[in-house]
Amino acid sequence: MSTLDPSIPRPSAPTTNVDTLVGTAQTVVSGAAFWASIPLPLVVLATLLSGFATAAPFAFIGLVLLNVCCAALGHSYTPAK
């Protein structure tokens, strides 16, 4: 017979400052990526319409890749109400 009573809740493991810092950093990066991914398609469109994409194709490709990365990183972010 066990001496442990399953009805007594065990205290949760204490969180460290590093855990809190990592969680905060993830939230900040995810939020920044979420909000940056909103205007970036407009910047890409303006780059196409202005002709800058033909003058500097690597910069245009960089903008598109930045937009994809921001969309991927910010996908899990949920803005607070």
Per-residue pLDDT tens over the stretch 65-80: 999 999 999 999 988 8
pLDDT of residue 68: 97
Asked if residue 2 has pLDDT above 70, the reply is no
Instruction: Kindly state the average pLDDT of the residues 35-50.
Output: 95
User: pTM value?
Assistant: 0.72
Mean pLDDT of the chain: 88
| Average pLDDT for 20-40 | 93
φ, ψ for residue 78, nearest 5 deg: -120, 110
Neighbours of 48 (CB within 10 A): 13
CB neighbours of 69 closer than 8 A, spacing ≥ 6?
Answer: 33
Percent of the chain with pLDDT over 90: 64
For the ranges 10-14, 24-28, 48-52, the lowest mean pLDDT is seen at 10-14
